[in-house]
Structure 1
């Protein structure tokens, strides 16, 4: 519609055609109103029944909520209208009629359970507060990309269909690929490492990853968005610096450019980008701090992974974003480099929000012989990964990087109760459609 005016741009005295959805209908007897909603907001259309053509009034008031309409008329100032203006219609065209029985109420006056919302995601996103989540998500990813470029990184896209799994076969989705077995990729990890050995040196990727997670919790998905970074000639401390900068940039972008969306979510007064350096706590100190809280039934010992309860206890104690560093080598992946002065301790790190893990990273093992040993120690066949390992024979620089869960970033940023609220069409153990 070349002559369409967005509702937010309609000014008193303008002659406009607005197009959108019928948000609400109010029939007060001699006068009636319909509220039209488009991507920029809402506008009131006034029908004075005794002064208008009967067919025009009938068309306007017989249309069902959520129908798509185009209304042409004069814009008048009206202080009592929701946006201070209203349209006096000359014509109304019903572009697409909606069924009167809606599976959920896009006005938000009647709540719907999350499964119903996800089953009807198109309708669900017509609600301001739901749409706001994805506008914020888009801004966060824009700010992240900008920060990566400031850091001198090149954006890459790596395969999502692979012959072998990044971290073994326990969480792999197998597929049939022209008669042979293949898998959906768990991570771009191996490919981004290969890229830092190329002329690119410093790379990032924002893309899907696939994990056959057995967990069916409010913070697990089977298809997720991973924000990945890898740099040649970086150690684990420099990788943490980059991680901190990227997370802060996401928050700062949202704070600067999404005030309207934060208001829709009633977060405008409490949303604050993190300030200062994120604390860096060694794994050993983390164990001690967790045990000191007294929150766990059984105290942790060195070598234990951190349960959800342990993460929560430490997060409450720290109270801000933080890193856990110097993890035991045996519980980190084969590609994580150990400290030169202590092979029992790795350079691996996790970056945490007080409520959950957001990032896993570390310096990578760039020496061919040590890398192959790591495969064997974790029960993996080095020959199955020859496309990866052989490149380490040809001059692989020291390098480090990390992967950040995109949905977890948005979930924790906005205080969402379920990670599925940060995904347009979630994939979990029960949901394969829509």
Structure 2
């Protein structure tokens, strides 16, 4: 139900809730938001109003508030949108030390249904039930903090690269052939041809170092992996960087600088959200240590003798490794056999790394192959047909410079930053094997 439009025009917001403080004592203001909770205690109604900046408590007292306001309080519903004009009063017991005493309330919209969970405390149902009405779920204070941290993190990463003269690029998301090889692709019909949703901007960003030298991209990528785990989704944001005239060791330093800059920015701009989510453990670093793949295998063997050189790291083995490296760290110099065709290799080893946080893989990168013949041989070694990559190989005829870079799974990084165990909590509308709506 919506209020009369002429009635709505009477209420013009004068402040957001974040602006209201004890300095506003006895000040008349108008706020607009939605009701998160209503609690009656004797002859007093406590109404918690939220807007996009946070909460503000409204107090309605019988005998103190206007009679029509106390009568109206009996009809207010959680999740309704209201405009409130009234006077701010100091209150030691109220959140932020102030409360709003209303003189007029206009109901701008009301609810036909009550969600099957409380926004402000109480037991939450499983995430699948909440995702069915995700827009409502995102009104929860913890979800608000997660998404505000998410926005600040994207902003910090983007500004980091812009401030260092990287060019932001946008590469195609509809592609003709697999970037990584393998079968984890979403096929689609592109007019009369078969095409795929991109797994990674890898080949395009490599080509773009030829004209631009330093590029980055923050965009969606897609993996058709039939994995129903707490850290897999099918549509995710990939943070990619590629730069000419550097190698993978230079990239390690760039990522370290990126994360240190991010830490400082979030502590400065979003400390209240980190505190609310109990998520400051990750900020306790000043550098990122490295362990070679060989040393990692030796360390794991002490507890899990079954692992062999050349094996990938499983959940079990990463759990073991995370006991010594519980925070950010790199695993470097992986076996050539397990790395993509575009990674530069020397014998059995590759110039590559993974960025980890405890038992989570966050990013992968390395020095790239910059010679056409070598790249063709690598494709053949991976049982990929070079003819399918002709669009990429032909660029190497024009003097492809040495280059390196990485790709980072943004949502996995957000799991660390927001202290979440389920990746779906940090994606606005997550997509996985079983979810295509909303």
Instruction: Mark yes or no: TM-score above 0.5.
Output: yes
CA drift at 1:194: 0.5
* 1:305-327 alpha-carbon deviations (Å, 9 max, x no partner): 11111122112123332211221
Q: 1:52 to 1:243 in 2, by over 3 A?
A: closer
* Equivalent residue, structure 2, for 1:247: 259
Q: Is the 8 A contact 1:60 1:92 kept in 2?
A: no
1:260 aligns with 2:267: no
Within the candidate set 320, 323, 332, 1:325 is matched to 332
CA drift at 1:169: 4.2
Q: 1:391 to 1:289 in 2, by over 3 A?
A: same
1:8 aligns with 2:18: yes
- 2:78 match: secondary structure: coil
CA drift at 1:412: 2.1
CA distance in 1 between counterparts of 2:17 and 2:258 reads 35
* Equivalent residue, structure 2, for 1:129: 142
CA drift at 1:18: 0.8
Within 5 A, what are the aligned runs for 1:101-140? 101-140=114-153
- 1:252 match: secondary structure: helix
- 2:257 match: secondary structure: helix
Within 5 A, what are the aligned runs for 1:169-180? 169-180=182-193
CA distance in 1 between counterparts of 2:191 and 2:295 reads 50
* Equivalent residue, structure 2, for 1:231: 243
Within the candidate set 210, 218, 233, 2:230 is matched to 218
Q: 1:349 to 1:28 in 2, by over 3 A?
A: closer
* 1:148-174 alpha-carbon deviations (Å, 9 max, x no partner): 234331111111111111012410000
- 2:431 match: secondary structure: coil
- 2:100 match: secondary structure: strand
Q: 1:267 to 1:186 in 2, by over 3 A?
A: closer
Within the candidate set 358, 376, 379, 2:380 is matched to 376
Q: Is the 8 A contact 1:251 1:273 kept in 2?
A: no
* Equivalent residue, structure 2, for 1:81: 94
1:153 aligns with 2:166: yes
* Equivalent residue, structure 1, for 2:294: 284
* Equivalent residue, structure 1, for 2:39: 26
Which deviates the most, 200-209 or 253-262? 253-262
- 2:118 match: secondary structure: coil
Within the candidate set 407, 411, 415, 1:411 is matched to 415
CA distance in 2 between counterparts of 1:286 and 1:83 reads 49
Which deviates the most, 25-34 or 310-319? 25-34
Unaligned runs of 5+ in 1: none
* Equivalent residue, structure 1, for 2:316: 309
Within the candidate set 283, 297, 307, 1:300 is matched to 307
CA distance in 2 between counterparts of 1:355 and 1:414 reads 16
CA drift at 1:62: 0.6
Q: 1:351 to 1:82 in 2, by over 3 A?
A: closer
1:396 aligns with 2:403: no
* 1:98-122 alpha-carbon deviations (Å, 9 max, x no partner): 2352232111223222112222222
CA drift at 1:299: 2.2
Q: Is the 8 A contact 2:45 2:73 kept in 1?
A: no
Within 5 A, what are the aligned runs for 1:52-67? 52-67=65-80
Q: 1:324 to 1:84 in 2, by over 3 A?
A: closer
* Equivalent residue, structure 2, for 1:334: 341
Unaligned runs of 5+ in 2: 1-10
* Equivalent residue, structure 1, for 2:213: 201
1:362 aligns with 2:350: no
1:274 aligns with 2:281: no
1:35 aligns with 2:52: no
* 1:35-70 alpha-carbon deviations (Å, 9 max, x no partner): 222122322323233355543322232111110000
Q: 1:324 to 1:46 in 2, by over 3 A?
A: closer
* Equivalent residue, structure 1, for 2:58: 45
Which deviates the most, 367-376 or 35-44? 35-44
CA distance in 1 between counterparts of 2:334 and 2:44 reads 70
Q: 1:273 to 1:152 in 2, by over 3 A?
A: farther
Matched residues, number: 425
CA distance in 1 between counterparts of 2:150 and 2:316 reads 28
Q: In angstroms, what is the RMSD of aligned CA positions?
A: 1.8
